[in-house]
A and B are shown apart, each in its own frame.
Chain A
Amino acid sequence: MAQRTFSIVANCILLFAVFGPLVVLIFHADQNFTFTTADREALKFTLVQAALSSLLSVLLAWPLALALSRRQFRGRRLLIVALSVPFILPVIVAILGLLSVFGNSGLLNSVLSFFGFRVFSIYGLSGVLLAHIFFNIPLATRAFLLALERRPKELDRLADGLNLNFLIRFWILDWPIVRLIAPQIFSLIFVLCLTSFAVVLTLGGGPKATTLELAIYQSFRFELDFGRASFLAFIQLSIAALTCVLSIIIFGLPLNFNKGLDRPIHRRYLRLGSLFWDFGIIIVMGLFLTIPLISVLIKGVQNFYLLEITIWTPIFNSITLALFSALISTILAMGFMNKWGEVIGTLSIAVSPLIIGAGLFLMIRNFINPFEVTFWVILTVNSIMGLPFAIRIMRPASDEIVSNFRRLSITHGMTPIAWFYWVYLPRLKSALTYSIGLVAALSMGDLGVIVLFGGANFETLPLVIYQLMSAYRIDQAMASAVILVLISIGIFLIFDRIGKTRNA
């Protein structure tokens, strides 16, 4: 009952903070429902690239997650952490990283031309897909990995005992997890790709690679046509909603695992063939994901001497913002631990931060001037942006706790508070801290609504990077980006460590 109440409160907060602004903006402005040829083409391209990006990310993430789940090796944890980095890089920095490998003058082309091959160009659909895969494989891999690690070890032992072959093993052991995680992660990545536009445009090589988000941005910033901006935002939201609902209809309710004690990880019998396969995957994907990062790191570290002492304030601001928004996202997420909660949570990132910011402004302007409470507005929007990640990370664990221990708790006659304290929270701990760590890391790198509300009085690290780039200081920007990444990784690792410690 108490959980129901919390869930309702959380839903209301989200509705108020996300869909409220959109609706307010639609009705505030002069309605403009024009949908041009350019919009139609943008929509078509958006759908194609988003569908392909999310499909490929999920397909490629699976073998990687499986390989990582069954191999122990030195540097494994570092690799897993490194996997989350592309996601938190400021867009332009990530693009430069990718181009250092795949660009015209990148590593790959240098090698190819050295051996006399023709230089290839990644600009186009392939570039867009490459970038989106680069950003999102880590997300999908972590989701799969988390589910694989929660799978009762007894099942693996059983499969080993029965000496099941590769296919049967996949069907019995792996497919339920794929079925559980893939649709959720697919729709999340889909929505992320739906709303990306700087990446799409830059690596898409020109205006044929355009998303609706660009039209929203254009209407909002240049044409001051809020009616059209919110109308397009509404279309974008509808597409996201449709995708989420479809994935639920097609895949139905996720299955769940029931049994399993917290046994230590069991080393299973390893066949030589699968050993090569696993490490092949880990090495190839690992290189794909880390070389661009390493190149960013090198560029940044070389320029550390350019950093100024003034960078401390934005660093503190960003850390504060990141920790608070991660905490809020994670707490709010506990109110969305069901399938519709997941859909609503995902939809909240389908609304452009500009729209949320502008709508929020209209909603609260009669009470307070939002530009005087920049910190709180940015905090609100960042918390919303982190919500779907927090929900996705925690929901499988949450479901499992409920299905495994609800009955036992009832026989103990536990009150909601006792249940929360003795069972839910401690069982959720590792998912919870992972969520806080990841959302904080994401929030660190998010420029978000600060562009609209930003400013002289409250600067974050991503904003400073953006300002440096606008002031020609790209080297200093790269150095700051590396600082950003290091702090994000630090936060992430600290929370990861907290989550891994067992309760005394």
Chain B
Amino acid sequence: MLKLTFAAGLLSAGTALAQVPTLTVYAPDYFTSEWGPGPSIEAKFEETCDCDLVFSAGELLPRLVLEGNNTSADVVIGLNTDITKKARELGIFAPHNQDNGLLTLPIDWDDEIFLPFDWSYASFVFDTTKTKPPSSFEELANLPDDIKIVIQDPRSSISGLALVLWVKKIYGKDAGEYWQKLAPKILTVTKGWSEAYGLFTDGEAGGVLSFTTSPAYHIVVEEDNTKQAAIFNEGHYPFFELAAKVKSSQNDALSSMFMKFILSDEFQDLIPMTNWSYPSSQAMEKWPSVFSDLPMPKSTVYFSENEASEITKLAIEEWRNALSQ
């Protein structure tokens, strides 16, 4: 096996010898995995770029911070909005130089550094064989006794954080009170999204904090129409996944080409069925029908980066206090 590892090393050295430039893209594990969008994106991009796109998987920001200016990353993909402020302050990213006007997001996007490549709305997904999905936070808190939901911890999960900010946006200073009201409905809180979703699909809970696009997976892959996202009248909190160019990259032309590629139809077409989310720069008419048929929230509630960073600590503390009682 060691031999194989070494052999693999030799192989990659061989491709380097072929004098094609390499574009190194840091991405999270779920992104580069066989079941994520990574492999097909790599194939599509390499068709036109005359280069070798290499994904390097792992934790993004801790790794970038550790590597500092010695990073070998040209592009980072898979960052989330909750961490953009910290990431921006690191000063290691360069402007993406793409036209934000091409984006088809529910909010205006004017960020020069971070470019969204997909998005979705936070939402509670329910098993409709157990209950009809509620249509507001109030209804959520008043679900029948035997229907419980699973959420994620905002301290260890970005979707968990999105929920806390969402509730904060809707309820303001009464957020703590709402959490107390919701507490009996919450079966448990998990470390990350996958644990929570696992509990849900296993039948342990009737609903789970996930995304409005999650039911698409069940419809497409499992031909299961019983999983539905609850659409709340109050509006939904959007969740963006971002890419950024690394300042120290020696491959500026290639990086720019990739950023441009992100907004192209070739890339955007891949997103729905591999990342189970909405494309970030594509009109709804071009989406697969499963996605355009999904119920869409009527309005969007959102904290700007600065608002969010001011309020996050407080919102998490309110959440913690309410659920710790």
> B118 within 8 Å of A by Cβ?
no
Mask, A183-203, CB within 8 Å of B = 1, is: 000000000000001100111
What residue of chain A has the Cβ atom nearest to residue B145's Cβ?
Answer: A119
Most central of B32, B188, B197 by chain A CB within 10 Å: B188
CB of A472 within 8 A of CB of B34, answer no
User: Contacting chain A: which of B52-60, B237-245, B280-288, B289-297?
Assistant: B52-60
CB of B8 within 8 A of CB of A104, answer no
> A393 within 8 Å of B by Cβ?
no
CB of A221 within 8 A of CB of B59, answer yes
User: CB-CB < 8 A to B323: which residues of A?
Assistant: 206-208
CB of B317 within 8 A of CB of A38, answer yes
A-B contact pairs, 15 of them (CB 8 A): A96-B198, A105-B204, A206-B189, A207-B189, A214-B191, A217-B155, A222-B155, A224-B62, A354-B62, A358-B62, A456-B54, A467-B29, A467-B36, A472-B197, A474-B202
CB of B66 within 8 A of CB of A362, answer yes
CB distance from B226 to the nearest CB of A (A): 15
Q: A103-B204, A206-B323 are in contact. List 9 more A-B contacts (CB 8 A).
A: A95-B195, A207-B153, A316-B4, A320-B1, A451-B29, A454-B29, A455-B57, A467-B33, A469-B195
Mask, A339-374, CB within 8 Å of B = 1, is: 000000000000000100010011001000101000
Q: Which residues of A429-470 are within 8 A (CB) of B? A: 451-459, 463-464, 466-470
Q: How far is the CA of A201 from the CA of B188 in the complex (A)?
A: 8
User: CB-CB < 8 A to B61: which residues of A?
Assistant: 221, 224
Shortest 4 CB-CB contacts between residues of A and residues of B:
A455-B57, A467-B33, A471-B35, A470-B30
> B86 within 8 Å of A by Cβ?
yes
> A310 within 8 Å of B by Cβ?
yes
Chain A interface SS verdict (over half): helix
Of the residues B59, B155, B194, contact of A470 by C-beta under 8 Å: B194
* A104 with B4, Cβ < 8 A, contacts A467-B36, A472-B197 known: no
> A375 within 8 Å of B by Cβ?
yes
CB of B86 within 8 A of CB of A453, answer no
What residue of chain B has the Cβ atom nearest to residue A361's Cβ?
Answer: B66
Q: How far is the CA of A57 from the CA of B306 in the complex (A)?
A: 48
Q: How far is the CA of A403 from the CA of B259 in the complex (A)?
A: 69
Q: How far is the CA of A451 from the CA of B190 in the complex (A)?
A: 18
> B95 within 8 Å of A by Cβ?
no
What residue of chain A has the Cβ atom nearest to residue B186's Cβ?
Answer: A206
Q: How far is the CA of A226 from the CA of B197 in the complex (A)?
A: 30
CB of B320 within 8 A of CB of A38, answer yes
* A467 with B191, Cβ < 8 A, contacts A201-B153, A207-B153, A361-B66 known: no
CB of A220 within 8 A of CB of B62, answer yes
Mask, A213-225, CB within 8 Å of B = 1, is: 0110110111110
> A47 within 8 Å of B by Cβ?
no
CB of B195 within 8 A of CB of A214, answer no
Q: How far is the CA of A241 from the CA of B206 in the complex (A)?
A: 43
User: CB-CB < 8 A to B19: which residues of A?
Assistant: none
* A198 with B190, Cβ < 8 A, contacts A222-B83, A320-B2, A362-B66 known: yes
> B96 within 8 Å of A by Cβ?
no
> B201 within 8 Å of A by Cβ?
yes
Q: Which residues of A226-277 are within 8 A (CB) of B? A: 226
Name A's B-contacting residues (CB within 8 A): 38, 41, 91-92, 95-96, 99-100, 103-106, 119, 121, 123, 197-198, 201-208, 214-215, 217-218, 220-224, 226, 308, 310, 316-317, 319-320, 354, 358, 361-362, 365, 369, 371, 375, 451-459, 463-464, 466-474, 477
CB of B58 within 8 A of CB of A470, answer no
CB distance from B274 to the nearest CB of A (A): 9
CB of A217 within 8 A of CB of B156, answer yes
* A474 with B198, Cβ < 8 A, contacts A104-B148, A206-B323, A317-B1 known: yes
What residue of chain B has the Cβ atom nearest to residue A122's Cβ?
Answer: B188
Count of A-B residue pairs with CB < 8 Å: 183
Mask, B155-195, CB within 8 Å of A = 1, is: 11000000000000000000000000001001111111111
User: CB-CB < 8 A to B106: which residues of A?
Assistant: none
CB of A468 within 8 A of CB of B35, answer yes
> B48 within 8 Å of A by Cβ?
no
CB of A207 within 8 A of CB of B317, answer no
User: CB-CB < 8 A to A203: which residues of B?
Assistant: 188
What residue of chain B has the Cβ atom nearest to residue A121's Cβ?
Answer: B187
User: CB-CB < 8 A to A91: which residues of B?
Assistant: 195
> B278 within 8 Å of A by Cβ?
no
User: CB-CB < 8 A to B70: which residues of A?
Assistant: 365
Most central of B38, B57, B193, B319 by chain A CB within 10 Å: B57
CB of B58 within 8 A of CB of A371, answer yes
* A467 with B190, Cβ < 8 A, contacts A452-B59, A474-B202 known: no
CB distance from B5 to the nearest CB of A (A): 6
Of the residues A99, A119, A214, A452, contact of B204 by C-beta under 8 Å: A99
Q: Which residues of B298-325 are within 8 A (CB) of A? A: 317, 319-320, 323-325
CB distance from A376 to the nearest CB of B (A): 10
Q: How far is the CA of A197 from the CA of B201 in the complex (A)?
A: 22
Q: How far is the CA of A319 from the CA of B2 in the complex (A)?
A: 11
Q: How far is the CA of A201 from the CA of B114 in the complex (A)?
A: 32
Of the residues A310, A452, A455, contact of B62 by C-beta under 8 Å: A452
CB of A214 within 8 A of CB of B32, answer no
CB of A96 within 8 A of CB of B202, answer yes
Q: How far is the CA of A458 from the CA of B115 in the complex (A)?
A: 28
CB of B35 within 8 A of CB of A473, answer yes
Of the residues B82, B189, B319, contact of A205 by C-beta under 8 Å: B189
Q: Which residues of B1-60 are within 8 A (CB) of A? A: 1-2, 4-5, 8, 27, 29-30, 32-36, 38, 54-59
CB of B191 within 8 A of CB of A201, answer yes
CB of A375 within 8 A of CB of B33, answer no
What residue of chain B has the Cβ atom nearest to residue A369's Cβ?
Answer: B72
User: CB-CB < 8 A to A457: which residues of B?
Assistant: 8, 56
CB distance from A108 to the nearest CB of B (A): 13
* A92 with B194, Cβ < 8 A, contacts A99-B202, A208-B324 known: yes
CB distance from A123 to the nearest CB of B (A): 5
CB distance from A406 to the nearest CB of B (A): 38
What residue of chain A has the Cβ atom nearest to residue B323's Cβ?
Answer: A206
> B276 within 8 Å of A by Cβ?
yes
Q: How far is the CA of A468 from the CA of B36 in the complex (A)?
A: 9
